[in-house]
């Protein structure tokens, strides 16, 4: 399968700071990338869908000013958690999709806000 | 009503058992169905996907879709301890092909 690299795998930040998470498709062009959030022992909840070169589409209840998504190229999307608070602590996962109906997932980023 | 619902488990079976994992979905228009496996603190990995109805087999894994009852299943034969993970069903929706996941079933295969 195709490879999606997500970085960093773990990050701890202070409350009030911003954190950027990168998602890269290494061997294919990702026309669409998705960002998910997963709480312990719960399923993945879609936060937003981004297409290269256009604004992301956010799911209901997700603050777009807090979770900034940029999809500037066909191989890179970034999620920036702005002014992070402890309740933003979670497991964030990206997935990337090219021309097939198959999404490949990154390894996830565990964010802890202290 | 949720778009996809999954038996929450947890499920514990002895090594070698046949495992049955199940989900139901609400919208008969859904055509693509996915099964993912997720190990602890890792991203999900695609196991199998099926289009429309019927069975699909890949090694020890069989995915089954029954569109009349809106029921999808994943069977694991000769289960191994390495199969211990959380299994997530997902439906593909919309032109953007977004995934909606079930809640996941945590499976433990005991040696």
Distance (Å, whole) CA B63 – CA B34: 9
At residue B103's C-alpha, the angle toward residues B101 and B106, to 5°, is 120
Beta strands at A10-13 and A109-113: parallel, antiparallel or unpaired = parallel
Q: Are A78 and A70 in contact (CB under 8 A)?
A: yes
Question: Which residues are bridge partners to B73 per DSSP?
Answer: B22, B64
B97/A103 Cβ within 8 A? yes
Residue carrying the six token digits 């990337």: A96
A46/B99 Cβ within 8 A? yes
- Name every residue in B having a CB less than 8 A away from some CB of A: 32, 36, 41-46, 49, 88, 92, 96-104, 106
Write out pLDDT tens, residues B30-53: 888 999 999 988 999 999 888 877
Alpha-carbon gap: B38 to the closest alpha carbon of chain A (Å):
10
Q: List per-residue pLDDT tens for chain A, 114 residues long.
A: 678 999 999 999 999 999 999 999 998 888 899 999 998 888 899 999 998 888 899 999 999 999 999 988 889 999 999 999 999 999 999 999 887 667 899 999 999 999
How many residues appear in chain A? Answer: 114
Distance (Å, whole) CA A19 – CA B15: 43
- Which residues in A lie closer than 8 A to residue B43 (C-beta atoms)? 4, 6, 93, 95, 105-108
**Of B42, B49, B98, Cβ closest to residue A107:** B42
**Of A1, A34, A42, Cβ closest to residue B103:** A42
Q: How far is CA B69 from CA A72, B9, B53, B72, B100, in A?
A: 42, 21, 11, 9, 19
The helix (run of H) or strand (run of E) holding residue B45 is strand B45-51
Alpha-carbon gap: A75 to the closest alpha carbon of chain B (Å):
17
Q: How far is CA A76 from CA A69, A109, A110, B45, B105, in A?
A: 11, 15, 19, 20, 31
Q: Which residue of B has its CA nearest to A56?
A: B96
Query: What pLDDT is recorded for position A53?
Result: 80
């Amino acid at each position: 399968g195709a490879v999606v690299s997500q970085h960093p795998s773990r990050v701890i930040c202070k409350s009030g700071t911003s954190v950027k998470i990168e998602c890269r498709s290494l061997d294919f062009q990702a026309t669409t990338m998705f960002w998910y959030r997963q709480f312990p022992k719960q399923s993945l909840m879609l936060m937003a869908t981004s297409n290269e070169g256009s604004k992301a589409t956010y799911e209901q209840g997700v603050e777009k000013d807090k979770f900034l998504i940029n999809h500037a190229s066909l191989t890179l999307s970034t999620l920036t958690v702005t002014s992070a608070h402890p309740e933003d602590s979670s497991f964030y996962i990206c997935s990337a999709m090219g021309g097939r109906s198959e999404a490949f997932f990154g390894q996830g980023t565990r964010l802890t806000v202290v | 009503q949720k778009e996809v619902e999954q038996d929450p488990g947890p499920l514990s079976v002895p090594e070698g058992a046949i495992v049955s994992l199940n989900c139901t979905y609400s919208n008969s228009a859904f055509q693509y169905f996915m099964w993912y496996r997720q190990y602890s603190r890792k991203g999900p990995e695609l196991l199998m996907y099926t289009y429309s109805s019927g069975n699909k087999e890949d090694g020890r894994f069989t995915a089954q879709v029954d569109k009349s009852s809106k029921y999808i299943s994943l069977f694991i034969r000769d289960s191994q301890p390495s199969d211990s993970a959380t299994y997530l069903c997902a439906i593909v929706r919309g032109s953007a092909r977004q995934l909606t996941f079930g809640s996941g079933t945590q499976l433990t295969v005991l040696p």
